[in-house]
Amino acid sequence: MHTYASAVLGCKVNDYEAAYVEQELNRDYRKVSFRERADIYIIFTCAVTNVAEGKSRKMIHQARRLNPEAFIVAVGCYAQTGPAEAFTDVDLLIGSTEKKRIKELIDERYAGSLVRKMERHPVFETMPLLDYSRKERAFLKIQDGCDQYCSYCIIPYARGGERSAAHEQVLDCARALCEHTSEIVLTGIHTGRYYDGEYHLIDLIRELVKIEGLKTLRLSSIEITEIHDDLIELYMTEEKMAHHLHIPLQSGSNKVLKEMNRPYTTEEFLQRITEIRERVPGISISTDLISGFPGESEEDQQETLQTLEKAQFSFIHLFPYARKKGTVADRRRDFVAPAVVKERIAAINELEAPIKEAYAASFLGKEVTVFIERSEKGRSEGYCREYLYTVLPEELPVGSLQRVKVREVRNGELYGEVRACC
């Protein structure tokens, strides 16, 4: 039996697509570690940052070193947008479509490229998963592509226009996944814009929470402009909804937000998260932030720090600005010096640390619901519904939900004891 190995970089959408490809390959091929010699290597690439692109190239070169005769497949956003010279070691190049055919093409030992110019409105590529064996919680891809065209972002060019899975297919897939897990994370490139011609995101969620085996439903990320009152109402009333929203801010400066082509001001963003917290007390709100966008001044940095102080995010995914050829921002010449960006990131991290710790500390003495992801050596670990990492001093069934009393908080992590199994 031929062997294969896969490496996944980047977002939850990549993770879902990799899980589907592995599901198909496992019928006829044996999976091995990416550190081992394999007949086939598949790299699910990422183009969001320069670091991710570099890691994608590194994994391709690593595969060729491990087995000079291997059949190497590069898939995804960097495969779609990267330069040809980055893929000289690749036998099959697959961009942001045709991923469903990977096994078929490997079976044929087809060598070539399936990178095509992305259509404005391509069709959603259905990739139904029956078992999400890659992780204990299951990601479920419901949407692909983006029409926002933020000035810094390559993803609309890599993934194409917005399209959504049919709600019947999503529900069928969710039912199948719930035979193996009790927690599902809805994911997409622009998840909040889900619409299949009949169902919007809120309609889909209302049907998903009716699934008997589902105990926790999360959203991977959603824009502030797409958190409507009916969605907030669902967070208030539906116990299956995880109390965590990841809402990208990207900058705390109104000038920079406008130049990024983001559709809100800091005032609108802060007002909305205040309303969410008033209606859903204790909810975790995290964010993405880019430091060093072209033309970002020291005044913009100070405005960002002030915005972050007001926002009180539970945690921040912080990235330095990365130039992406073909984007609007890449045409600029007022780039911020790397040393300055490094200083600004350090200042943001310094501001974030006590805020993150204070949010975690607010759960001291309270009960939280934890999804157990690891259990060994006399302890269990997982994330609570507010997406705080939680540690328990006993081995518990992986994949189970536990009601936990928080006894200690250290470095933003919760430590507690089980009160009951949910």
pLDDT (tens digit, 9 = 90+) per residue, 153-192?
999 988 888 999 999 999 999 999 998 889 999 999 999 9
In this structure, the number of other CB atoms found within 10 A of the CB of residue 379 comes to 14
Angstrom distance (rounded) from CA 158 to CA 92: 17
Above 90 in pLDDT, residue 128? no
Above 50 in pLDDT, residue 1? yes
Lowest mean pLDDT among 69-78, 117-126, 167-176, 332-341: 117-126
CA end-to-end span of the chain: 42
Structure-block tokens of residue 171: 């529900």
pLDDT tens for 190-226 read 999 999 999 999 999 999 999 999 999 999 999 999 9
- Nearest Cα neighbor of 13 from 48, 63, 65, 57 is 48
In this structure, the number of other CB atoms found within 10 A of the CB of residue 49 comes to 17
Q: What is the pLDDT of residue 420?
A: 73
Q: Give the pLDDT band (50/70/90) at residue 110.
A: very low
Q: Fold match between 3-114 and 118-242? A: no
Angstrom distance (rounded) from CA 211 to CA 225: 28
Lowest mean pLDDT among 116-130, 143-157, 314-328, 348-362: 116-130
CB 421 within 8 A of CB 399: no
Above 90 in pLDDT, residue 113? no
Per CATH, which fold does 367-421 belong to? Answer: OB fold (Dihydrolipoamide Acetyltransferase, E2P) (2.40.50)
Above 80 in pLDDT, residue 123? no
**What sign for the dihedral angle of Cα 304, 308, 309, 311?**
positive
At 24, which amino acid appears? E
Name the percent of the chain lying above pLDDT 90: 77
Domain 118-242 has CATH 3.10.20.90: no
Q: Give the pLDDT band (50/70/90) at residue 101.
A: confident
Angstrom distance (rounded) from CA 245 to CA 248: 10
Domain locations along the chain: 3-114, 118-242, 367-421
Above 60 in pLDDT, residue 119? no
Mean pLDDT estimate for the chain: 92
Give the global pTM: 0.81
Above 90 in pLDDT, residue 131? no
Superfamily of domain 3-114: Methylthiotransferase, N-terminal domain (3.40.50.12160)
- Residues 329-333, mean pLDDT to the nearest whole number: 94
